[in-house]
Structure 1
Amino acid sequence: MQRRQLEERQRKAEIEAQKDAILRTILTPEARQRLTNVKLVRPELAEAIENQLIALAQSGRIQAQITDDELKQILAQLNSQTRKDYKITIKERGWK
Structure 2
Amino acid sequence: MHDAELEELRRRKMAQLQQSQESQLQQQAMMEERAKQMEAERQAIMRQILTPEARERLAKVKMAYPDVAAAVEEQLLRLMQMGRIQNQIDDATLKAILRQISPQRREIKIERV
Distance 1:83 1:11 in 2: 35
Partner of 1:21: 44
Q: Whose radius of gyration is greater, 1 or 2? A: 2
How large is the Cα RMSD of the aligned pairs?
1.8
Structure 1 gap segments, 5+ residues each: 92-96
Relative contact order, CA 8 A, sep 6+: which one is greater? 1
Structure 2 gap segments, 5+ residues each: 1-23
Aligned pairs, number: 89
TM-score by length of 1: 0.83
Identical aligned pairs, as a percentage? Answer: 43
User: Pick from 47, 52, 60: which aligns with 2:70?
Assistant: 47
List, as ranges, runs of 4+ consecutive aligned residues in structure 1 with deviation greater than 6 Å.
Answer: none
Whichever structure has more helix as a proportion of its residues is: 2
Distance 1:21 1:74 in 2: 20
Partner of 1:34: 57
| Kept after mapping to 1: 8 A contact 2:51/2:90 | yes
Partner of 1:4: 27
